[in-house]
Structure 1
Amino acid sequence: MNDTVPGLVRRAAQEFGDALAYSMDGRTLTFAELHDLVRLTAAAYHQQGLQPGGRVVLWAPNSIDWVVAGLAVTYAGGTLVPANSRYTAHEVADIVDRTHATLVVIADGFLGRTQIADLRELSPAAPILDLADLAGLRAGTRAADLAAVEAAAYAVTPDDIADILFTSGTSGRPKGVLSAHRQSVAAAEAWSAVGEVTSADRYLVISPFFHSYGYKVGVLVGLVHGCALFPMATFDAEAALELIEAERITMVPGAPAIFLGLLESPAFPGTDTSSLRFANTGAANVPVTLVERLQRELSFDLVITAFGMTECVVATMCRRGDSDETVATTCGRAIDGMETAIADPETGEHLPAGREGELLLRGSQVMLGYLDDAAATAEAIDGDGWLHTGDVGVLDDNGYLRITDRLKDMYICGGFNVYPAEVEQALARLDGVVDVAVIGVPDARLGEVGKAFVVRREGGPDAEAVVAYARERLANFKVPREVVFVDALPRNLGGKVLKTELRSTS
């Protein structure tokens, strides 16, 4: 079936065959070759004990091997659990434990780290495979393993769970978001329909594959339309510009910081960007001037902003013909199959156009729920099927959404959501820290960065020690960039930290 991920892999091989599917670091792969490698890798997983329904954690940066390893999980009937490549072993060990992972596939050595050794120290029993060893395992697969995974691939249904993507929550612990195959495929189809994607497109994928925008609006889009993908493991403006010119790239989604990086690069004035046609941005407010520069200086014909979240990957998008101001100041209107509403956060009453309140989403893209957390699922999705996003927004008379604030304390650093509660819980374990609160503050390059307000005991850690402790336990985008020591945190009568007061001093 084409509404399952294995179905997309098979159909892409049949329909696009010898067309280029991937190109990265001098290596290329056609859609037919991709299918063959996915089948063999799935057979290797089966030989290692993966059965339909089993979960596989994939901890690696963007690469062709990531794509093969990830797609092979669902081809074997399993559930893909991507882990942020910048997570620490502490964070990944928690995911491995909570998903009861059958296998953990790791790209060892990314950013000079020792991921396998670090995880083995924390989770000695974890069934770890080095991503680099998969080629050897593929060579040892048997006909029986191939037959088993082909049967498993055909047995996958649209309602089976395809993936579990972890997103932090206000409780401070990441929550696993469950998505069915039909939802992951639909996200790719909806996004690419608005972006007018075809097999002629050449797609520079800067968004990480562990993120919904890299996987569902990246990898799966390529399978749906047969367009060639050019992934980057880490963003480098000069390298990206070189790829755009050399490979005649047509599509570049990314956070505003990505496009500003391209425009401000010393290499930009001498780069031919005339092949570019479609830019998709979001995750932060977009200046009108940036939209104009994308069209005028980077040659994009279609610039679209959108709103989505891990719990609902694609909710709203702008459309061709929307004004530059509309694209810059709104997140567009609901895509097909989705509804939006604004509700009074206290009473739950739905509000008319122009009134500010909590954004609610309902429709095909809303997650199935949170992994092993019925209470959090019920809190997020009400009895009428509305997902309570925690974002404050306004809908205009035409249904266009403008995000104005956040009910939650979440801020966005370089395109990634950061939930202060998780950072606060980590820092609270540092010896000498009495109390801590974290907020997001504006940053010209990353949009927002963390600022930690710390109450410490006499002789407690200095700012460098606080940051170093955070770096050991949290992904780098979660690490506060600034530490301020205070005698006490401002709190209301109920004991809640008054973060509005902290923001007013920043």
Structure 2
Amino acid sequence: MGETQIAALAEPFGSFPQIIAANAAALGSQVAMRDDDGELTWSELGDRVERIAARLAEEGFERGQSVAILGYSSIPYALVFLAAVRAGGVAAPLTTSASPDQLAGMASDSGAQHIFIDRAKLVELGEDCFAGMTRVVLDEDLDSWMAPEGTIAPAFDPQPGDPFNIIYSSGTTGTPKGIVHSHLMRWRQFASTAASWLESGLPVRTLASTPLYSNTTMVAFLPPLLAGGTVRVMRKFDVLRWLEFAQDDRATATMLVPVQYRRLMQEPRFDDFDLSSLQLKYCTSAPFPADLKREVLDRMPGALIEIYSMTEGGVVCLLEAHKFPDKLHTVGRPAPGSELKVLDDADKPVPPGEAGNLIGRSQTMMAGYKNQPDKTREGYWTDPETGEVWQRMGDIGRVDAEGFVELVGRAKDMIISGGFNIFPVDLEGELLREAEVVEAAVIGVPSERWGETPVGFVTLKNGAGDCEAIRERVNARLGKTQRLAQLHAIEDMPRSHIGKLLKTDLRAEAERRGLPV
């Protein structure tokens, strides 16, 4: 099966459902998936995906229709995701942290007629939620709802432009935007990854500890299934549970976000666990401090690869941190097939080495935002000379002489104080040099004198430290225009479910504390 499978994955385009069905037939009793409650063999996975897809077809499900999923990561959740695609439809996982109004908006926007939901989430939202949709309780009704054992769903031959999934952005207000990915995009993203794992000859056993509604998680979910490996999905990240799973499963690959790496490094019992099977660790979704990368390289086995991109697509940068220890302050270089430009605010190229707005293009661009063509166009930049379409990355960065990309900050987070541009990442880096500081974030708050002025928030080791003394030491190392007006200690940084720092929450906290300055 190995060489044939690698050859199939090397094709310019292929069918996810057909490869997963072939793996199910060939691998039989081998374990395909684990969750907090148990495991599923490849034969069982293949059978249940077919039965869910068949029942959808019996209920009039049409090609290109969405299937909404809402709940914690589990085997039933993963089966519905795969079955939606197998049925010729679109997997539409909804964000568990969203408000009831946002969830209703996402479900409506997706066009789904079916919603698969955890009992706990249904209790939280109430029985009247998602009125008019066919509702299946994932952890109670799925087995009895699906078609009888052995049922095969109607044939589906995906075309490159067919939608594969909708990933909803982590919007803080209103209905998050639905980012549509095609079958071709997902194939280009993950078939080569699966092939490379098979070519290495190492067992493919991944540990996915971020939610299945997140694009981040797909790296540890879809490629191992294409490769005929084993995936464990965690209901919720817990440091000790993650360490136990990694050790007991002999996990060979994982995807973690920076805050998860930090919590692992802070665990007193970390060194008691045998992680020697780990061959490959990925990281994405949030800034990954250089000192944390260095500690992960020192203490965790295997390669460390940071991925920089957007759910929408654009440039993909890769940093093989284990190969470039002197470039840990960067996110690496554009991957093969990716291109990057750095533009000023007038959309003109900046000189080499200068910071500007990043735009990118690659073979893995979204099909667009669901039902929002205007928003889709707003995110693009079209080259006036060639007509090529590029994605605005929303980040400010610079490229060094060797092509490595250093992020300076989010464009929307840049502080303009007294006419000078201040990049929060520069100030955050200085704060992190202080021994007492564990995490740091800097925002701009309104100032009558300067227009905006930088204010910092930190978490402190053991919750102890003199913020004013820290601020004075840091300001002594900064330029006059960069200096922090205030510094505040908080217990925890506000983060999304996948570890993204929520500076909108910090701005709300600043307002609550009576800042502006």
Normalising by structure 2, report the TM-score. Answer: 0.74
Pair 140,262 (structure 1): closer, same or farther in 2 beyond 3 Å: same
Pair 29,319 (structure 1): closer, same or farther in 2 beyond 3 Å: same
Is 1:405 the counterpart of 2:409? The answer is yes
Deviations 1:286-324 (A, max 9, x none): 3333223223322x2211112022101871112376322
Counterpart secondary structure, 1:229: strand
Is 1:174 the counterpart of 2:200? The answer is no
How far apart in 2 are the matches of 1:169 and 1:92? 12
How far apart in 2 are the matches of 1:440 and 1:89? 32
Question: Aligned match of 1:396 in 395, 400, 408?
Answer: 400
Question: Aligned match of 2:228 in 222, 226, 237?
Answer: 226
Letter in 2 for 1:124: A
How far apart in 1 are the matches of 2:314 and 2:33? 23
Letter in 2 for 1:203: T
What's the CA shift for 1:3?
Answer: 2.7
1:336-355 to structure 2, matched below 5 A, reads 336-344=336-344, 346-355=345-354
How far apart in 1 are the matches of 2:500 and 2:71? 15
Pair 221,487 (structure 1): closer, same or farther in 2 beyond 3 Å: closer
How far apart in 1 are the matches of 2:315 and 2:72? 23
Could you say which residue in structure 1 is the equivalent of 2:465?
Answer: none
How far apart in 2 are the matches of 1:87 and 1:58? 13
1:187–1:314 CA contact under 8 A, matched in 2 = no
Pair 158,225 (structure 1): closer, same or farther in 2 beyond 3 Å: same
1:190–1:314 CA contact under 8 A, matched in 2 = no
2:338–2:363 CA contact under 8 A, matched in 1 = yes
Could you say which residue in structure 2 is the equivalent of 1:370?
Answer: 369
Counterpart secondary structure, 1:376: helix
Could you say which residue in structure 1 is the equivalent of 2:89?
Answer: 78
How far apart in 2 are the matches of 1:477 and 1:356? 22
1:70-469 to structure 2, matched below 5 A, reads 70-109=81-120, 114-115=123-124, 117-118=125-126, 120-131=127-138, 132-140=140-148, 146=152, 149-151=153-155, 153=156, 155-168=157-170, 173-189=175-191, 200-215=203-218, 217-298=219-300, 300-312=301-313, 315-319=316-320, 322-326=323-327, 328-344=328-344, 346-383=345-382, 384-409=388-413, 441=457
2:315–2:359 CA contact under 8 A, matched in 1 = no
How far apart in 2 are the matches of 1:387 and 1:288? 26
2:27–2:42 CA contact under 8 A, matched in 1 = yes
Question: Aligned match of 1:27 in 38, 55, 78?
Answer: 38
How far apart in 1 are the matches of 2:315 and 2:195? 12
Counterpart secondary structure, 2:231: strand
Normalising by structure 1, report the TM-score. Answer: 0.75
Could you say which residue in structure 2 is the equivalent of 1:498?
Answer: none
Is 1:6 the counterpart of 2:8? The answer is no
Letter in 2 for 1:211: S
Question: Aligned match of 2:73 in 54, 57, 62?
Answer: 62
How far apart in 2 are the matches of 1:246 and 1:488? 50
Deviates more, 1:193-202 or 1:133-142: 193-202
1:393–1:405 CA contact under 8 A, matched in 2 = yes
1:198–1:226 CA contact under 8 A, matched in 2 = no
Deviates more, 1:262-271 or 1:206-215: 262-271
Letter in 2 for 1:201: V
How far apart in 2 are the matches of 1:123 and 1:91? 12
How far apart in 1 are the matches of 2:314 and 2:215? 7
How far apart in 1 are the matches of 2:69 and 2:277? 33
What's the CA shift for 1:234?
Answer: 0.5
Could you say which residue in structure 2 is the equivalent of 1:433?
Answer: none
What's the CA shift for 1:236?
Answer: 0.6
Gaps of 5+ in 1: 413-419, 421-438, 446-469, 490-501
Gaps of 5+ in 2: 1-7, 383-387, 415-423, 426-442, 444-454, 462-493
How far apart in 2 are the matches of 1:281 and 1:4? 27
How far apart in 2 are the matches of 1:139 and 1:361? 45
How far apart in 2 are the matches of 1:399 and 1:363? 17
Counterpart secondary structure, 2:264: helix
1:63–1:233 CA contact under 8 A, matched in 2 = yes
Counterpart secondary structure, 1:262: helix
How far apart in 1 are the matches of 2:95 and 2:59? 23
Deviations 1:33-82 (A, max 9, x none): 21111001111222233221111111111111111011000111111111
How far apart in 2 are the matches of 1:403 and 1:311? 18
How far apart in 2 are the matches of 1:305 and 1:241? 21
Could you say which residue in structure 2 is the equivalent of 1:453?
Answer: none
Pair 442,72 (structure 1): closer, same or farther in 2 beyond 3 Å: farther
Q: Cα RMSD over matched residues?
A: 3.4
2:358–2:395 CA contact under 8 A, matched in 1 = yes
Pair 485,171 (structure 1): closer, same or farther in 2 beyond 3 Å: closer
How far apart in 2 are the matches of 1:394 and 1:208? 31
Pair 267,205 (structure 1): closer, same or farther in 2 beyond 3 Å: same
How far apart in 2 are the matches of 1:441 and 1:81? 36
Counterpart secondary structure, 2:146: helix
2:334–2:340 CA contact under 8 A, matched in 1 = yes
What's the CA shift for 1:136?
Answer: 0.2
What's the CA shift for 1:106?
Answer: 0.6
Counterpart secondary structure, 1:72: helix
